[in-house]
Amino acid sequence: MQNNSRKKVRRKNPMLFCFLAALLIVLIIIFAFLAANSRQSTGELQAAYDKDAAFQPSPSPTVRLVSVTPDPYLVTHVPQPSPTPSFLSVGSEGEMVRQLQQRLKELDYYTGEVDGQYGSGTREAVRFFQYQHGLENDGVAGQQTLAVLYSNQAKPCPYTPMPQPEPEVTETIVVQTPAPVLATPSVPLMGYGASGESVVQLQQRLQQLGYYTGSVDGQYGNGTAEAVKIFQSQNGLSADGIAGEKTIHILFSANAKYITITPTPSPVYLTGENILLLVNRQNKLPEDFVPGDLVKVKDICGDNVLYASQNIQGVRVAVVALNEMIAAAKADGIGPWKIREGYRTIADQQEIFDNSVYTFRKDGQTKSQAISSTRQTVADPGCSEHHTGLAFDLNANNPDLPFADTAQYAWLQKHCWEHGFIMRYTDEKEHITGFLGEEWHVRYVGTEHSLKMRDMGLCLEEYIIWLDNQ
Ligand SMILES: [Zn+2]
């Protein structure tokens, strides 16, 4: 029906059809003309734009400019892929490890290179961080450790690194005000053993500031050296107990600080995994480290052994094992035994170290030369295993025979493992332990570990790595 009526209209109005067709043609011509004009007026910009026109259907130059301006919101809010492993441990690597090392470094636990490789240095730093924060110190950075580490509860490492040898200062003593300038003392620098008027002045000044409580006698003994050392450590100087130019200068200046009393540190109980506490040149204990449960060796071993000093101490569990070991040796007919060394405080070690440095300096060596000479035979304070209270030096009380040639040593080498002790320093492991063989030095680790170490032939450094990989 509708088709019919349309045909009718066309037929009835041929004139109207022709008119519409003509109008359409005119419109097309006008449009083409305008388009040609527009092309000319937009010039070069349009020409450049045309290159893109093929795949950008209907843009205008204005639209195109807007589209290339980066949207700051989009740029900053592009989601970053961030893999988050649940823990990091030896063998882990990458950005997370790098961040961990960076953070540990900020807090002074880590001194190594920030290289994104979780090696034994990182592990020890983590372990020490954990220990300082009451976390299980397994050296594995798990979620709990990471949460504490990146929180504002993370405490910086309490230990201050050993000062590195400094460039030499001319070693003349200049005693400064408030007292009138003193005659230069006859000793090249004031340290242990010095005496005279300049030492009196030193003691008086230290007393005034609260560092020295002994008598002002002009004798530079242990008390004076200790006071100088505390003064140095609290006044930003390297604490060597020697009153050199720099120390004297600050001590007698208005900038000298009064003593600050710090609370006694809490002891660390070496039980469980802590029994393997690694102390060596790379793994230094904090200055205020004190092992818990120290006892006098004599109180447990009684007359079973001889003593170089009646006051030698050790951690109870190790002293009990030592007593049992010596009883077993004696039952085998091997004796006598003498205990030469046990627990040593870091201050004791500092004193041994400083006295040695001072002796070398008096012999004309520079400070750095004296430190190097000392390190050949003396462990740095904090780096001696005797600080743990788990190590003992034994001998056969026979001054005519090297311990290595005694029946006691032969027995010890064979049986110490059965009692939880290890031969800590042997010549064959020197490249790992950093110490020459010390056949008289035993370290308690407990039979759970000592027997495995014997069977696998591993020193403590190697054993800890082995354990980590289990
Ligand atoms: Zn020793």
Measure 386 CA to ligand 1 centroid, in angstroms: 6
Kindly report the CATH number that applies to the domain delimited by 272-344+384-468. 3.30.1380.10
**How far is 270 from 321, CA to CA, in rounded Å?**
14
Q: Angle at which helices 120-132 and 95-106 pack, to 10 degrees?
A: 50
pLDDT of residue 160: 43
Residue 49 structure tokens: 């734009």
Measure 46 CA to ligand 1 centroid, in angstroms: 88
pLDDT of residue 200: 92
Measure 215 CA to ligand 1 centroid, in angstroms: 34
Same fold, 168-262 and 272-344+384-468: no
Measure 432 CA to ligand 1 centroid, in angstroms: 17
Q: DSSP of 384-402, one letter per residue?
A: -GGGGT-EEEEE-S-TTS-
Measure 444 CA to ligand 1 centroid, in angstroms: 12
**How far is 75 from 3, CA to CA, in rounded Å?**
60
Number of neighbours of residue 345 by Cβ within 10 angstroms? 15
Measure 437 CA to ligand 1 centroid, in angstroms: 10
Measure 265 CA to ligand 1 centroid, in angstroms: 24
**How far is 456 from 464, CA to CA, in rounded Å?**
12
Residues of the chain with pLDDT under 50: 1-11, 36-83, 160-188
Measure 333 CA to ligand 1 centroid, in angstroms: 25
pLDDT of residue 76: 37
**How far is 196 from 208, CA to CA, in rounded Å?**
19
Measure 335 CA to ligand 1 centroid, in angstroms: 20
Is position 245 annotated as part of the catalytic site? Answer: no
Residue 391: strand pairing partners = 443
Q: Compute φ and ψ for 255, nearest 5 degrees.
A: -85, -10
| Cβ pair 353, 374 in contact under 8 A | yes
How far apart, in Å, are the Cα atoms of 455 and each of 419, 435, 447, 451? 14, 22, 12, 6
pLDDT of residue 66: 33
Domain 95-149 sits in CATH 1.10.101.10: yes
Q: In what order do the strands lie in the sheet with 306-307?
A: 306-307, 338-341, 391-395, 438-444, 421-425
**How far is 258 from 227, CA to CA, in rounded Å?**
12
pLDDT of residue 86: 74
| Burial bucket for residue 64 (CB in 10 Å: 0-12, 13-18, 19+) | middle
Measure 410 CA to ligand 1 centroid, in angstroms: 18
pLDDT of residue 75: 36
**Domain segments of the chain as ranges:** 95-149, 168-262, 272-344+384-468
Residue 430 structure tokens: 């020197």
| Cβ pair 440, 394 in contact under 8 A | yes
Question: What is the residue whose two structure tokens read 């730093």?
Answer: 125
Q: Compute φ and ψ for 432, nearest 5 degrees.
A: -100, -45
Q: pLDDT tens digits for 20-34?
A: 666 666 666 555 555
**How far is 436 from 448, CA to CA, in rounded Å?**
26
Measure 391 CA to ligand 1 centroid, in angstroms: 7
| Burial bucket for residue 37 (CB in 10 Å: 0-12, 13-18, 19+) | exposed
Catalytic residue among 166, 438, 439, 462: 438
pLDDT of residue 301: 96
Q: In terms of CATH, what superfamily is 168-262?
A: PGBD-like superfamily/PGBD (1.10.101.10)
**How far is 324 from 188, CA to CA, in rounded Å?**
52
Measure 365 CA to ligand 1 centroid, in angstroms: 27
pLDDT of residue 256: 87
